[in-house]
Amino acid sequence: MAATIQLMKCTSADAGVETDVTATGVRLKSIDDATTAPASAPITIPAADTAYSFETWLRFNCSVAPDNQCDNFQVWSLGNEIQAGEAKVTLNSDAVDTGVTPVVTESSAGTRTDFHVSTAGTKIAVAGTLTTADDETDYAVLQLEVYSGATQGDITQSSEFNFSYDEN
């Protein structure tokens, strides 16, 4: 039987509350939840330095087991920067296997890299071999950084979060 894999956003203490965001997408905002609209949780442009969204802890969950296994999970962007020089999205480029409570300060989850440079040619691996229902991968942790020189208003560009895995 073909597996069903869901993208889960993990919020609250120890990233312990999981919400399926496969269909709704990932939103980087000023509160730690999976359902509030970004317009209701904006990130304020700081007078100096950098403001951060809450970390967005993501992992893959197997809701319908594969015949054998799902592995080789990878994530990447299309390479489009969002408002260059005004904001950027970062992602951990190495394994994060234990969830912690998301923070609204600079993330220390794994080695941080600019998400827009993680393209189809430089995908980032997310560890995990899923064989049964409710198996989960390690975490991919995204965060939006907004700089003091940012233009007022909504970010007009989006950064697409792509993923793949092998089912065998």
Per-residue pLDDT of the chain (168 residues; tens, 9 = 90+): 799 999 999 999 999 999 999 998 899 999 999 999 888 999 999 999 999 999 999 999 999 999 999 999 999 998 887 777 889 999 999 989 999 999 999 999 999 999 999 999 999 999 999 999 999 999 999 999 999 999 888 776 677 889 999 999
How far is Cα 79 from Cα 159, in angstroms, rounded to an integer?
A: 8
Tokens 């794994």 correspond to 110
**DSSP assigned state of 84:** T
For position 95, what pLDDT does the model report? 84
**Structural domains of the chain, ranges and CATH numbers in brackets:** 4-167 (2.60.40)
Distances (CA, A) of 142 to 16, 111, 152: 16, 11, 22
For position 159, what pLDDT does the model report? 75
| CA gyration radius, the chain | 16
For position 157, what pLDDT does the model report? 67
Please give the model's pTM, rounded to 2 decimal places.
Answer: 0.94
Q: Are strands 140-147 and 87-92 parallel, antiparallel or unpaired?
A: antiparallel
At residue 117, the 3 state secondary structure works out as helix
Contact 50, 106 (CB under 8 A): yes
